[in-house]
Each structure stands twice: as structure tokens, then as C-alpha cells.
Structure 1
């Protein structure tokens, strides 16, 4: 029997009401790493049920589905947990016509939502590039301090971090420290 452990379940970083920043554990979802040649992206889009973005750094969002292009042949896919089996079947059928690799990474990663006018400041505390310059929506693989993450900018002041469970507490602690500094005006 698989024992599931979500290191951030139910956690939220509390700040003073005057601080425009909310950090909370994201709802669980199905997560996949997709590798497929650019010529077959349209077929993969049909299998996933969302048009996959064509350029590195672009993100497609529809309802609870998200797709981020992380490389020339690499996508990070997210969907509601109830759709996981249907997505796996659709991609299994796709093997007959398009060479690809779809890997379930749902048990490896957890999500953290960072939202509000101070979200960029909180993220910038441990990310080396200019987070404020990211397109919305947009996404990339990067480092948060020393932990590898996938960072999605869903809207101007709304971000989602996808991080390995083993690094989740580390990332959470850094966000907690950054939110405290923002709250104190440091």
C-alpha cells in the first residue's frame, strides 16, 4: 500500500491583514512530464485536451488544466486528479502514431501558490532572475535558493511553484522568512 505524504497539506503563511501577500499549499493535481517532437504537438494537444504552447516559456491555461513549455520538446502538464486516467489512456493511444514519453510525476511534486502585489518581492528573495519580467501567463524551470522548481506565472500577481516534496519544507521556510521581512518592511 502506498503511503501518501503531502508535506504542505493545509499549511498557509499568515501575514498581517495589511500585507498584500498570500502563500498557501496548492490543491493537489495530476502532473506529467511530456517529451514529444514539435511536429506532433498538435496530436499531443488533442490527447491532453488543451492546446500545448509552442514556445519555451509559454503557458496555456484552461480551467484547472495547465501546460508549460519548458524546452524545445518538453512540457509540464497539470490537470484535475479525476482526469489522470483518461489522459494516460489518450497518450497510450497516441503511441501508435507519435513517439513520445509521458511520465506521471504527481507523487514527486507539490504546489505552492504565491499571490498578491508583494508576490514578486517574496519570490525574488530566492530566485536569481527578474521575476517581475516574466510574462503572464508564463513558466520556466529555475532554482529557488538551491531547490529546482517549475515557476508558473498565472496572472500578474499570481504564481505557482511546483517543487519536489523533498525540497518543499525548504522552499516553504524561505517563503515564510521572506513574508515576515515584507510584513516588517525590511
Structure 2
């Protein structure tokens, strides 16, 4: 049987770390243009923008690179009434997409998390080998790893070896 999954790095995207108190989430949602997720590991999306709730007061916002300035302006405009921290972390991370029928099994070669319980549209902080990553299940057979740029060669190396083992039937 042929190996039918792919591993690819995605084009650079805009990324922000957003921190705010619960009482300011309505204002944050208005500035963003859609509602922030309210449960940890939940995602929300509108157009090219998506948000993942990572903690009680923490979200990761992704967008097209050219949308960053507009997002920064929208959030700056509401800052006096809704204090928050919006930090551009676009250059810090690289996204890797793993997709196909063996995607989940491929990720289990270096991720200790039970991926079978991670539902589509959910994301979590986890470990891939010894590297902290953000893992999002975008669809049943499609995952995105957000990896700090300096760890990408290590993570891609592990994935390349795992793919080779799958292709050899190991």
C-alpha cells in the first residue's frame, strides 16, 4: 500500500498573540470582526483570519501577512476602553501541514498526545519530540503544526524520517 499523506511548510502568515481579560472579549471580538472562541482549544474563523484559544486569557490569531496592519489599527483603536496585549509574532513561527489518511499516525511518531480525541477545529499546545508546538486539527485528516522557526529543521527532520519509515512499511 502506498503512503498517501503529505508534509509541507505553509507560506508565511501573520500571527498575533492576544491577551485580555474576560470582560474585554466582546470589544476584542468586535475589533476582529468575529467572536473570539470562549473554550480553551476552540477555534473560530472568518475569511482568512482564524483564532485559537490557548488559555483562559490567551488567543493566537492568524491572518494573511497583508492584514496585519489593519488588525493592529483595529485593536489600537479600542485599547483605551479595552486594555489588552496584541503582540505580532509573525516571524517567530513556521506552519507545517500534515494531511492525508496517515496524518494522525504520522504525528504519533513524535507526539505523545492521544490525537484520536482531538476533534476537528480544535488546537492545543503539546510536544513534538522535545519541541513545544501548537497542534491544530484542521480537518479529520489534516493537521497544522506551528513551530518556532529555530526548531523547524529538527521537526521536519523527524517527519522526513517517519515518512521514509512509512514508505518502507516499517
TM-score, structure 1 normalization: 0.88
Please say which of residues 82-91 and 47-56 is displaced more in the overlay.
47-56
Out of 150, 162, 169, the residue aligned to residue 178 of structure 1 is 162
The one-character-per-residue Cα deviations of 1:104-127 (angstroms, maximum 9, x if unpaired) are 000111110110111101111111
Structure 1 counterpart of 2:59: 75
CA RMSD, Structure 1 to Structure 2 (Å): 1.3
How many matched pairs?
Answer: 170
- Which runs of structure 2 are paired with 1:1-186 in the superposition (5 Å)? 18-186=2-170
* SS class of match (2:157): helix
Please say which of residues 159-168 and 47-56 is displaced more in the overlay.
47-56
Please say which of residues 45-54 and 171-180 is displaced more in the overlay.
45-54
TM-score, structure 2 normalization: 0.96
The one-character-per-residue Cα deviations of 1:34-56 (angstroms, maximum 9, x if unpaired) are 00112221211121223211000
Contact in 2 for aligned 1:153/1:160 (Cα 8 Å): yes
* SS class of match (1:54): coil
Unaligned runs of 5+ in 1: 1-15
* SS class of match (2:156): helix
Unaligned runs of 5+ in 2: none
The CA distance in 1 between the partners of 2:124 and 2:98, in whole Å, is 16
Runs of 4+ in 1 over 6 A off after TM superposition: none
